[in-house]
Structure 1
Amino acid sequence: MKLTDFDFDLPPALIATRPARPRTAARLLLAEGEGIADRRVSDLPGILRAGDVLVLNDTKVIPARLRGSRTRATPQGDATAAIEVTLLEPVPDGWRALAKPLRKLRAGEAIRFGDALSAEVVSIAGGEVCLRFDAQGDAFDAALAQVGAMPLPPYIAALRPPDAQDHQDYQTVWAKRKGAVAAPTASLHFDAALLGRLAAMGIEFVHVTLHVGAGTFLPVKVEDVTTHRMHAEWGEVGQDAAEAINRARAQGRRIIPVGTTALRLIESAAGPDGRMQPFRGTTDIFIYPGYRFRVTDGLMTNFHLPKSTLLMLVSALMGQDRIRAIYDHAVRQNYRFFSYGDASLLIP
C-alpha cells in the first residue's frame, strides 16, 4: 500500500481559513450506501435516525502558541531574540514544546512571553524543548489565556496569523477538559441550537476525551504506509460512555463518532467483539485500508489532506475507490477543505 495511493489534486483556493457562519451553515456531503448528496450541517436532524449515538470528543484546546523573547548573557551584556513556542503536553519537569528557532536555544536560558509569563529552558532533545514556567495551576492557565494564541494548523497559520476570533472559532461548544493543542474539527460545526434539535428527535450523545496533539499534522514520510508510526495521544472513555455504547449496540442502534479523534479512541477501547471497556491512557492506533472496524457504524468528519493518515482512515471506512469518488465530487463542487472547512457524513 503506497503513499501515492492517497494523493489527489486540491486547488489551494479550497483551503478554508475561516469557518462558516453560523457554524451549522457549513456544507455537508452525505455519502450513504452508493449515493452522494449535497446538504448542510443544519440538515442533520432530517438525516440521522432516532436512537443514533453521536460520540463527541470533549477535549478543550489550550492557547498553546506563544511568542516571546529569549535572553542570554554575553560578554557585551544581555542579548535578546524573538522565539515562537508551541506547547505539546505537561511533563514532570514542565512542558514539552516545539520552538523556532530551536538550534539557538540553550539550557538555562530565560524566555519571556510578555509581562504575564516567563519560562526557563530545562533541556533540549529530539527536536523539542522542555520549559519550566514561572506560574502553575490556575495562575498558569490565566497567564496562558492572556498571552497565548490558538494553535491553528500549519496550513492555516501559513496563510494568516491566529487572532482573537480563533479563541471562539477553534473550540467546540461542549469543550470541557483542557489539554488539546489541536481541535476535533468536525465538532466545530455544532451549536447549542442544533444539539437541542438532535436531542429532541432522540439522538443520544456520548462524551469521550482525546487530547489531540500537534502530531496530528505530521506528514507521512514513508512510501509503504503500513510502516508509518503514529504519534500517541492521551484519551479516556469513562464507564458511563462505555456502557452507553454497549447498550446502543445491543439494541441495534448506530454508533457515529463526530471526528476521527473520537473514532480512533472508541476503536482503541473496543475489544475484538466490539464490546467497549473503560479506557484511560495513550493510543497510537493507525487505521488504514484493511482495518476491521469494531464499533463504528459511520463517521462525521471534515475533508482531509492528501497523503494524510486521516485520509487513510476514511478510506478504510468507505473503501479507497469510494473515497476517491467522494473527494472528486467535493473538489468539483467547491467544498471547503481542512480544519475550518465543510463536513462529510460517511455511512458505509
Structure 2
Amino acid sequence: MADKARIAILGASGYTGAELVRLIATHPGMRITALTADRRAGESMGAVFPHLRHLDLPTLCRIEDVNPDDVDLYFCALPHATSQEVISALPRDRKIVDLSADFRLRDPQVYAEWYGRAHSALDLQEEAVYGLTEFYRDEIRGARLVAGTGCNAATGNYAVLPLLAAGAIDPDEIIIDLKTGVSGAGRAPKEGTLFAEVSEGFHAYNIARHRHIAEFEQEFSKVAGRPVTPTFVPHLLPQNRGILATVYVKGEPAAIHAALAARYQDEPFMVVLPFGEAPATRHVRGSNFCHIGVVADRRPGRAMVFATLDNLTKGSSGQAIHNANLMLGLPETTGLDLAPMFP
C-alpha cells in the first residue's frame, strides 16, 4: 500500500488498546486516525496512559463519532458481549480485527453454553476467521473479520496443535497447567485483581470452567479429527505480563520436540528451544515471540511441553497486528520485530 492504512481502535482505554497504540506508533504501514473510549471521551490518550503522552494521537471519542471514511481497518478491543453489537453496526466494506471472545467459537450453541447468552450476530460469525496466525494464515489474508484468540488459548494451542497434527501424542492424555499475569483480567477495577489480593500469593482460578477451554476443544478436535477434551487449570501470577503453560503429554519426547521444531522452523515469531530446555516469561516480555521447550519426563513415553508468551503482545495486540498486516497486504512481520524487554 502506497499510503499508510488508517486505523481506528475501539476501546483504546484498556490494556490491549494501549498495547495496540504502543505497537502502531512505530509501524511504518499504519497510522491511527481514531481512538474511542466512551467513559473517557474528550480526554487525551496521554491523560489515560501517561506513557503514551509523547505521541501525537487523536482525542478519545465515542464510537458513534468515528467517521468510517477515515478508517481502513478497525481493531475492536471492547469487552466480551459488546463486540457483536458494535461490529454489526460498522460498514460491511471495512476490515475488522476483534480482540474479544465474541467471534472465536464457530458453533453458536457452544458460545451460548460458555458465555451464557445467545450469539446475536450469526451472519458475522459465519465469516469470522479464527486469529491464530500461524495456523490460519491463508484464511486471514483474505478475511474481512478476524477473531483474535484468547491469550491462554493461544499459548496452549501453540504447544499442542502441531503434536496432534503429527500424531505425536495421545489426544486423551493432555493436561495444560497454565500461569498468567494479572493484566489478562483487563483494566477495569475488580476486587480479585487488587494489589493486596494478588501480591505475595499464587492461586488457581475458574477451575474446570475457564472459557478458553472451549477454544482448546474446538481447535484440538479439528486437528485431531475427533473430540478432544483436555484438562486445563489456569493460575494467577503476581506479575503484570506473561503466560507460561506446562503441558503434560503422552508420547516420545524426542519425537515431540522434532514435531514442534519442524512445524515452526519457518515461523518468524516461534522459537523452539534445544531439547531439554524450558522457557521463561521474562525472555518474551513485551515482544511478539513465543518460546517453546520440551523436556522428557522421568517416566518413559511422557514429556512436558512448555510454552510462554506475553499475553498483551503475542497473546492479543501483537497477534492482532500480525493478522492485520496479512489482511492489508503488508509484510506480516511489519512493526513486530521488537526485541523482548529484559530485565
TM-score (norm 1): 0.31
Considering fraction of residues, name the structure with more helix: 2
Q: Point out the structure with max Rg over C-alpha.
A: 1
Higher normalized strand content (fraction of residues):
1
